Amino acid sequence: MNDRSSPVGTAEPTNTPVAYADRWSDLLSGRHLAIVLVMASGVLLYAMNLYFTAALMPSIVADIGGQQYYAWVTTGFVISAIVASLFVSRILDWKGPALAYVAAFVVFALGAAANAASPTMELLIVGRVVQGLGGGLLAGLGYAVIRSALPERHWARATGVVSAMWGLGTLFGPALGGLFAELGLWRWSYAGLALVSLIFAIVAQRSFAGTAGSGHRSPVPVASLIPLVLATIAISLSAIAPIGWPTLATIGIGFVLLWLFVVVERRSHNTILPRITYRRGNALKWVYLTVAALSAGVMVENFIPLFGQQLAGLSPLIAGLLGAVLSLAWVIAQLFVVSVSSESGRRRAIRLGPLLLTAGLIAYGLLQTENASLTTVAIWTAVLALAGIGIGLAWPLLGVAAMSSTTDPAEGGKAAAAITTTQLIAFSITSAVAGTLMAAGGDSVADAARYVSLGIALLTLLGIFAAGIATRK
């Protein structure tokens, strides 16, 4: 197997046939456009659905009851998505992108249809688990197919487009879900998702026509899979466990199981992550840790609208717009940084990203106060934009770094798919930790806001060191 000692800053191939072939105009035209459309749409469906469902939940509970299972609607979806993401590279290698995408969209549609028809909360949760399986495949395929379906000169821009869908999901998901909730059409919203998914299944079949997998069926790494799935479940359960020692115990068990997962992976020949991840001197492990740190920073968005309303008296609309600032800055920044072609420029962008994110979150946390003025809100906006720029600078380049870490197609597929797995696990861990910090604030909203923001900043701080090691020559 061939691999590169440092995956960061891989140079573009020099055999580009024409000058414009590595520009946006080539990526967004012809067959490339159809491929990018499918990949971006799959990730957008997953990302938007998280916030979409959150906005619908009050209406759902009012209709079918089951408030005691409220948290499980999201927890079941996320856990099943993480499990599905672990099989992306194997399905892609076995059946190819066309069948992989058709299966993912159809499973997502089946889950959405089950949600639309659910008479009870228990059955809705089952539908969400099925939907999560399809969503996890869609999210993972978004990165993995870039490597196999597009030339290397387009990897950075395609990664930027796909990762921008996570930001757009936080922008449009709450608004769209709120609109259906306002109209009392929560069932129709899921029926619409099912229909859209089936349409994209047809588009995917046509876009990837003629492509096929190798037919090779890699054995499932059961020894690695069990501790990783159990760790994800334990950490996710901590978000709904009683505050106090049960929360700390479930988080602790989750981290012990993650450590066990790494131990098993290092000793196994059949792994979930690429084997080069565990090779001494290889930077891929640090790339994944940097991705995890950036993903942790994204989770502060879930709390910004609440803090804006309670601390500054903002209307729900304005508070929602404030929460979207980080995502908007993230999307804009990465659309510029993907044009950076020099190795040194990419290294600087990756190093700067976690630094700006952490600085923005620390400033935002320190500025949380009761009865915040409009001036304070304006400063919140600026520092959240700074944090979003940090994510946008590093994220797409880290995706390229992972995909460029090896020339072996099978290991390369694992490397790309593992970006999503890392991201989803980081979301789960950060959500659980943030919930605990929120509760630690007690009756003081300002204290809760500070604890959550600064606690997440401590997690992103690790990304500064990981990025520094990942970009060493």
Q: At what angle do helices 343-366 and 374-403 cross, to 10 degrees?
A: 150
**C-alpha to C-alpha distance for 155 and 369, rounded to whole angstroms:** 43
Do residues 387 and 326 lie in contact, with contact meaning Cβ atoms separated by under 8 Å? yes
| pLDDT given for residue 210 in this prediction | 66
Dump pLDDT digits (tens) for 72-94.
Answer: 887 788 888 888 888 888 888 78
**Token pair for 84:** 């599905």
- Strand, helix or coil for residue 120: coil
Do residues 326 and 348 lie in contact, with contact meaning Cβ atoms separated by under 8 Å? no
**C-alpha to C-alpha distance for 227 and 217, rounded to whole angstroms:** 22
| pLDDT given for residue 8 in this prediction | 55
DSSP string, 72-109: HHHHHHHHHHHHHHTTHHHHHHHHHHHHHHHHHHHHHH
**C-alpha to C-alpha distance for 174 and 324, rounded to whole angstroms:** 10
Taking alpha carbons only, the member of 155, 159, 8 closest to residue 470 is: 8
Do residues 204 and 101 lie in contact, with contact meaning Cβ atoms separated by under 8 Å? yes
- Strand, helix or coil for residue 5: coil
**Token pair for 49:** 């659905």
CA distances from 76 to 122, 204, 234, 236 (A): 11, 27, 12, 9
Q: Where are the domains of the chain?
A: 20-217, 219-269, 277-473
- Name the DSSP letter for residue 13: P
Task: Point out the residues of the chain with pLDDT beneath 50.
Answer: 1, 4-6, 9-20
Q: How many helices (H) and strands (E) does the chain have?
A: 16, 0
**Token pair for 385:** 């934009």
Dump pLDDT digits (tens) for 264-292.
Answer: 988 888 888 888 888 887 788 899 999 99
Fold identical between 20-217 and 277-473?
A: yes
DSSP string, 426-453: HHHHHHHHHHHHHHHTTT-HHHHHHHHH
CA distances from 22 to 8, 13, 315, 345 (A): 19, 10, 45, 17
pTM: 0.79
**C-alpha to C-alpha distance for 117 and 9, rounded to whole angstroms:** 49
Instruction: Give the homologous superfamily in CATH for domain 20-217.
Output: MFS general substrate transporter like domains (1.20.1250.20)
Exposure b/e, 161-195, CB count within 10 A at least 16 = b: bbbbbbbbbbbbbbebbbebbeeeebbebbbebbe
Instruction: Give the homologous superfamily in CATH for domain 277-473.
Output: MFS general substrate transporter like domains (1.20.1250.20)
**C-alpha to C-alpha distance for 95 and 218, rounded to whole angstroms:** 12
Q: Which residues contact 20 (CB under 8 A, 6 or more apart)?
A: 26
Dump pLDDT digits (tens) for 105-123.
Answer: 999 999 999 999 999 999 9
Taking alpha carbons only, the member of 189, 134, 143, 190 closest to residue 165 is: 143
3-class secondary structure per residue, 220-288: CCHHHHHHHHHHHHHHHHCCCCCCCHHHHHHHHHHHHHHHHHHHHHHHCCCCCCCHHHHCCCCCHHHHH
Residue appearing with tokens 């395929």: 141
Q: Which helix (H) or strand (E) holds 157?
A: helix 155-182
Do residues 427 and 298 lie in contact, with contact meaning Cβ atoms separated by under 8 Å? yes
Neighbouring CB atoms inside 10 A of 216's CB total 9
